[in-house]
Amino acid sequence: MCTIGSAVFDISAPEYIIGDPFEIEPQSISSLRSARKRVCIVGEVCSFKCEEARGGGGMFITFGIFDGNATIEVRTRRLEAEDAQEISDTISNGMIVAAVGDVRPDKNSPDMLFYYSAIAKIKRLPREDTAEEKRVELHLHTNMSAMDALISPADAVNTAKRWGHKAVAVTDHANVQGFPEAMIAAEKAEMKVIYGLEAYFVNDSASPLFGEWDRAFSDEVVVFDIETTGLSVVTCKITEIGAVKIRDGKVVDRYSTFVNPECHIPEEITELTSITDDMVKDAPTVREVLPEFLAFVGDDLLVAHNAGFDTGFIRYVAKEQGIEFDSPYLDTVALSRYVNTDLKVHKLDAVAKYFGLGDFNHHRAVDDAEMLGLIYLKMLEKLEKFGIEDYGRLVSEIHANTDPLTLKTYHMIILVKNLTGLKNLYKLVSLSYLKYYRRVPRIPKSELDKLREGLIIGSACEAGELFSAIVDNRSDSDIEDIASYYDYLEIQPIGNNHFMVDEGRVPDEEALRDYNRRIVAIGEKLGKPVVATSDAHFLDPEDEIYRHILLAGMKFKDADKSCPIYFHTTDEMLREFAYLGEKKAHEVVIDNPNAINDMVEEVRPIPKGSFPPHLDGAEEELTEKCWTRAHNMYGDELPEIVSSRLERELGSIIKNGFAVLYVIAEKLVHFSESQGYLVGSRGSVGSSFVATMAGISEVNPLPPHYYCPKCRYSDFSNPDKVGSGFDMPTRNCPVCGEKLAQDGQDIPFETFLGFYGEKSPDIDLNFSGEVQGRVHKFTEELFGSENVFRAGTLGTLADKTAYGFVAKYFESKGESVCRAEADRIISHCVGVKRTTGQHPGGIIVVPREKEVYDFTPIQHPADDPKSDIITTHFAFSYLHDTILKLDELGHDIPTKYKFLEKYSGISVMDVAMNDRTVYELFATTESIGIPQMDVTDKETKMLGLMIGTLGLPEMGTSFIQQVLVDAKPKNFADLMQISGLTHGTDVWLGNAQDLIKNGICDISHVVGTRDGIMLDLIRYGVDKNLSFKIMEMVRKNKKGKPIPEEMVAAMREKEVPEWYIDSLRKIKYMFPKAHAAAYVMSAIRLGWYKVHQPVAFYCAILTVAPEGFDATVVARGRRAVVDTMRDINARWNDATQKEKDLFGAMQFANECMLRNIKFLPVSLEHSHAKEFLPEDGNIRMPFMSLPGVGENAALAIMNAREDEPYFSVEDLQLRAKLNKSVIEILRTNGVLDRLSETAQISMFDLF
DNA sequence: CAGTCGTCATCGCCATC
DNA sequence: ATGACGATGGCGATGACGACTG
Ligand SMILES: Nc1nc2c(ncn2[C@H]2C[C@H](O)[C@@H](COP(=O)(O)OP(=O)(O)OP(=O)(O)O)O2)c(=O)[nH]1
Ligand SMILES: [Mg+2]
Ligand SMILES: [Mg+2]
Ligand SMILES: [Zn+2]
């Protein structure tokens, strides 16, 4: 055993993994400040990296060793690939090691580096809960508490499990987004989770009137105010009391006196109140004043502004003097909020001004009381106008009319007891986000009362209602009223509230303990269990720094203040609450939390099973539609291949509940087309022939075939064994002589739904961005807005932002950390919730017989109450296997189609799929009239002119162009394969490309589409279902998880070649063939316009996707365009994203200019706001192509031009409401050249 | 006339297909 | 200098500008 700071390492059984065994006598890393030989260190491996050495020729490995306190960067010498691999296999992040080696300073930084000679694996003892009887944590924040907490739900669950706790609660701020991860971890660890949250509770049934008082307004009341030496009841004293007695709307008596506080009045208070030490030094003390004042009050109602404060002080001193004080009182702040709804600020002077009551000496009790008296009468007058004339009526009216959005929020813990409670909680969360959101989602008492079944309510922390009432020194009966609403009361460690001492709100820690003692006493009196909770925001004490970084990143002033809110063990808690006595401590730490846990049933936040929607007649409708369409295409007597495929697919689709989705999708396509926008095909659904027949997908997955559009003859023989129907020679119908249509991409249905419907795919559709919103609305109409929701997303703190936060944090502290340490800290900060958003197109469909609350709460994206979009509270990925989704994505291709048709007058659907000149685009620039340049010349490549694919979707990037040049595709099938090979990391480079280069196989046999994987494996003899599973695992493996041993073994058993298995291992993502087919089809279509309708092509592409296009560069001519590209290209890695976009646009513009199509300058008369318009064989650039002229300005210029031409710059600025920067941009770009500055000229003309 | 608030344009980052 | 998956859009921050307000 050895200790470094608070970290304890077990070195009793070292496992020597690199180098010779050595004696483990570690130094603390922070002590290594200078070069030393043969030092031993221990710690956790972090930030492990294995990189190719610069300039090739070997590898470098770097990692950090973190000993719980400091990190040192470890480097290796230059290594051979095999050695590097061996080390990578032995050492990994999170491993605890001891190492010996030399410490040397880094040449390039102030840090020290460690060069090891030997490494041993050891253990670090984590914090353990060794208590006999364990506590249960009922208040814990996961990293789903936005920018506030760091515990991953899995860590919470696993730590509690390791500690032997029976359960652990997940209680994030206002949301339940930690539930799904907690559920997954809990099921894996067989652990119980108590699901809950920490709500922002508002008491909308609170009234401004405290205590019993239901007389008429005309009865006598005492309006009063006090001045004090500060805000805290405990540490501050009264300096002045002022009061007026009011009866029948008139002041009938007054009381006013200074009070000697018997202490110094702080300067800032004197400044505010103008009450000095001098003024009060001869005044009576509160011991004399209080009885006098209370006698003045008698049995009257007390009225004060923020009365809790004033009565709190009076009550405190009364108690000190052994005088009973329980007068009813009314708070005019609350009353003003209710009466003066048009007022935002309800401070005394603001309200006085509001009623026009003139100036007064604010912050002097005598004057404030007088003024408040007047205000009070005004408010009563106002109420009387509404027929409210007594206090009883007032209270009931207020209850009925309070706006929860204006009330003070209190923290409150809500735990889920059972499934009823879970659903109620989801409803409450939804309400809080959708209806009661202001700054935070609020849960009003009135709603909670309605939905309280199945929920357990706890009093939460210092920001809870109970704790606040105690701090404010509210009356015993008030406090007990509050406490009685809760099912249990919470107390927390002193450290949690220590900030109150620091801020001077309480004198010392003892006062904090007194608060906890008070809560314990209240619990005893009311019979409410009191439980001790951590209010954990991070797991271990040493993790506090990560929270500081988060808070500092959010620019919080007090970010670096210590607040040790870690997950406490039982013993830590028992020690913490020892001051309550051993027995009581045991009760609040162990017994009561366990008792609460015993009330809680185990529930699953997302139900098991899948819940497809139903729609009467959907199955029949789909079936009918498909057969009809099939007969229309392939004849009355369907070829076997067609009918058997239809039957098989329909069976599977209907059985797995997908028919409804098909039917809805079909209606959506119809809807979009009715709006004038074609729909782009996408995704695995193109593997379904039913989708083709239903018109959802234009990909035909049948084998290559001919069919006659006239007589419905068909031929599936495919004698040339081509890979795509589009690649067959053209033929005329042997029956009727008509030219035959050709189609068929040969795709298995199973890519979509699996062999046994074991997959939960979605249906993907590409809609023009211009109709996407309408399509979403239409889906709601089709299936009901109660059942259709946009999927929500969760935005988290990821690498780059975390890096910025960490850098900023240490910079502001004037400290520096080594890269390994920075990376380690970053890795701990990553994953914390920041915001919510909307899924690109995912629309989930809840079956009619269910409610959305059976699956997830709902909310607005980014919590924005003004948004008219409602999203699922849970990210879709967690609902993936439970409910179905339609992916109604936005895409530019359908919009491009629209503009191509508009500018060329040629229908997209008439474009042939087998025009040779179009295929030539993928091999040369000749077919667009640009003489072929040398493809081996770097300049050619830079210009993007090795081939003619610039502007073709997903075919025009440098990378893909290079692959096309190398692979020389000849037909549609080749292009599909290349499409697959060029979409995904480690698919082509370092994988397929090498296999081809090394002659191991040719391009048609490398892994290019995911369907290929399944079919290849089946061909090798691997079980078809396992083949399917391997395909599914390989196709999205972004993190590079290894293929499970049993899968590898099954492949080896069937003699699947090692290179093939290796290839699969590397793949990070892979297209389904259907998607490749759909995208190549659109590339071919756009290519046709590129060859045959160039002006329309360039106009359409630029109009729809103008990113990076800069009219100021293009206007300077082709030279300038090329120079700009050269410049950016020369410093590519330092170029900004904007410059990279500009580069792409300039490639495209250059190609266009080489085809003798000119870009005409932006023109006040001729330019469109955003469209690049064809103009006499050239292209007129739009206003928006000028950087700095945004959509609004551009549209304004165009729209105001409609009425009459602009006759001066002034006229333009006025009519189009342009600001001066836009005018300047227009001026410098010559747009205003022919316009006079003001209307003077025309004025002149009049005379 | 300084301060505040909303709007617009743009950018970096992030999530997702 | 290298290598490189492509595309789309939402959210938050920032800065310039101008209207409004006390
Ligand atoms: N280039 C590229 N395209 C992607 C990526 N992810 C998805 N796509 C494209 C290709 C997919 O077929 C299409 C639809 O995505 P989905 O997530 O719905 O997956 P897909 O339909 O392929 O399979 P599914 O059966 O729905 O699980 O979007 C990606 O990472 N890169
Ligand atoms: Mg899909
Ligand atoms: Mg999808
Ligand atoms: Zn025919």
Task: Verify that A447 and A479 share a domain, yes or no.
Answer: yes
Q: A938 vs A941, A958, A1118, A1125, CA distance in Å?
A: 5, 11, 19, 13
A613 part of a folded domain? no
Q: Is A762 in the pocket of ligand 1 (CB under 6 A)?
A: yes
Give distance in angstroms: CA of A269 to centre of ligand 3. 63
The CATH number covering residue A1190 comes to 1.10.150.870
Q: Which nucleotides of chain B are near protein (any atom < 7 Å from a CB)?
A: 7-17
Give distance in angstroms: CA of A682 to centre of ligand 2. 8
Which of A1054, A1081, A1102 delimits the end of a domain? Answer: A1102
Q: Does nucleic acid strand C have an atom less than 7 angstroms from the CB of A983?
A: yes
Task: Verify that A239 and A353 share a domain, yes or no.
Answer: yes
A116 with A101: CB under 8 angstroms? yes
Rounded Cα distance, A944 and A961, in Å: 8
Task: Give the number of domains in chain A.
Answer: 6
**pLDDT at residue number A274:** 85
The number of the ligand nearest the C-alpha atom of A763 reads 2
The number of the ligand nearest the C-alpha atom of A681 reads 1
Task: Verify that A646 and A557 share a domain, yes or no.
Answer: no
Rounded Cα distance, A1183 and A834, in Å: 36
Q: Does nucleic acid strand B have an atom less than 7 angstroms from the CB of A839?
A: yes
A949 part of a folded domain? yes
Q: Does nucleic acid strand C have an atom less than 7 angstroms from the CB of A828?
A: no
Indicate if ipTM > 0.90: yes
CA neighbor of A202 nearest in space, from A344, A411, A480? A411
Give distance in angstroms: CA of A1040 to centre of ligand 3. 21
Which of A720, A747, A762 delimits the end of a domain? Answer: A762
Rounded Cα distance, A426 and A231, in Å: 39
Name the residue with the least CA to C1' distance from nucleotide C17: A1219
The CATH number covering residue A588 comes to 3.20.20.140
Distance A202 CA to C15 C1' (A): 37
A67 with A4: CB under 8 angstroms? yes
Dihedral over Cα of A1237, A1239, A1245, A1247: its sign:
negative
CA neighbor of A203 nearest in space, from A479, A508, A442, A364? A442
A858 part of a folded domain? no
Task: Verify that A59 and A158 share a domain, yes or no.
Answer: no
Q: Is A683 in the pocket of ligand 1 (CB under 6 A)?
A: yes
Which of A1072, A1102, A1132 delimits the end of a domain? Answer: A1102
* Subset of residues 745-774 in chain A with CB less than 7 angstroms from any atom in strand B: 762, 764
Task: Verify that A382 and A424 share a domain, yes or no.
Answer: no
A770 part of a folded domain? no
Angle at A1070 between CA A1065 and CA A1072, to 5 degrees: 135
Nearest nucleotide (C1') to alpha carbon of A839: B16
Rounded Cα distance, A92 and A503, in Å: 45
A363 an active-site residue? yes
| Segment A590-593 long-range contacts (CB within 8 Å, at least 24 positions apart) | A590/A131, A590/A133, A590/A134, A590/A135, A592/A488, A592/A529, A592/A530, A592/A531, A593/A135, A593/A136, A593/A137, A593/A138, A593/A531, A593/A532, A593/A533
Angle at A764 between CA A761 and CA A768, to 5 degrees: 165
> Containing domain of residue A1024, as a range?
894-1102
A131 part of a folded domain? no
Q: Which two tokens stand for residue A285?
A: 């003390």
Place of tokens 């279509």: A1085
A967 part of a folded domain? yes
A808 part of a folded domain? no
DSSP output for A664-676: HHHHHHHHHHHTT
Give distance in angstroms: CA of A633 to centre of ligand 4. 11
Rounded Cα distance, A483 and A477, in Å: 10
Nearest nucleotide (C1') to alpha carbon of A1131: C1
Task: Verify that A578 and A669 share a domain, yes or no.
Answer: no
CA neighbor of A339 nearest in space, from A207, A234, A215? A207
Q: Which two tokens stand for residue A906?
A: 């040629």
Task: Verify that A495 and A383 share a domain, yes or no.
Answer: no
A974 with A710: CB under 8 angstroms? no
Q: Residue length, chain A?
A: 1247
- Residue A547, classed as helix, strand or coil, is helix
Could you say which of A141, A165, A346, A363 is catalytic? A363
- Residue A147, classed as helix, strand or coil, is coil
Q: Which two tokens stand for residue A153?
A: 């739900």
Place of tokens 């002659």: A999
Distance A1191 CA to B9 C1' (A): 9
The CATH number covering residue A955 comes to 1.10.150.700
Distance A200 CA to C22 C1' (A): 34
Q: Which two tokens stand for residue A6?
A: 């608070």
A865 part of a folded domain? no
Q: Is A983 in the pocket of ligand 1 (CB under 6 A)?
A: yes
Nearest nucleotide (C1') to alpha carbon of A795: B14
Strand partners, A100: A40, A118
Name the residue with the least CA to C1' distance from nucleotide C4: A959
Distance A144 CA to B12 C1' (A): 23
Dihedral over Cα of A957, A959, A964, A965: its sign:
positive
Rounded Cα distance, A300 and A503, in Å: 36
Rounded Cα distance, A275 and A254, in Å: 20
Q: Is A1071 in the pocket of ligand 1 (CB under 6 A)?
A: yes
Rounded Cα distance, A1132 and A1135, in Å: 5
Task: Verify that A1010 and A1049 share a domain, yes or no.
Answer: yes
Task: Verify that A485 and A580 share a domain, yes or no.
Answer: yes
Q: A512 vs A140, A590, A611, CA distance in Å?
A: 21, 21, 51
Dihedral over Cα of A494, A500, A506, A508: its sign:
positive
Task: Verify that A114 and A165 share a domain, yes or no.
Answer: no
Give distance in angstroms: CA of A888 to centre of ligand 3. 8
Nearest nucleotide (C1') to alpha carbon of A1190: B9
**pLDDT at residue number A1097:** 98
Angle at A1126 between CA A1124 and CA A1128, to 5 degrees: 70
A1013 with A1034: CB under 8 angstroms? yes
Task: Verify that A934 and A1080 share a domain, yes or no.
Answer: yes
**pLDDT at residue number A845:** 97
Task: Quote the pTM value.
Answer: 0.89
Residue A402 CB contacts under 8 Å (≥ 6 apart), including other chains: A204, A205, A206, A338
Which atom of ligand 1 lies nearest, measured to the CA of A752?
Answer: 25
Task: Verify that A315 and A460 share a domain, yes or no.
Answer: no
A303 with A251: CB under 8 angstroms? no
- Below-70 pLDDT ranges, chain A: 54-57, 1238-1247
Rounded Cα distance, A539 and A566, in Å: 5
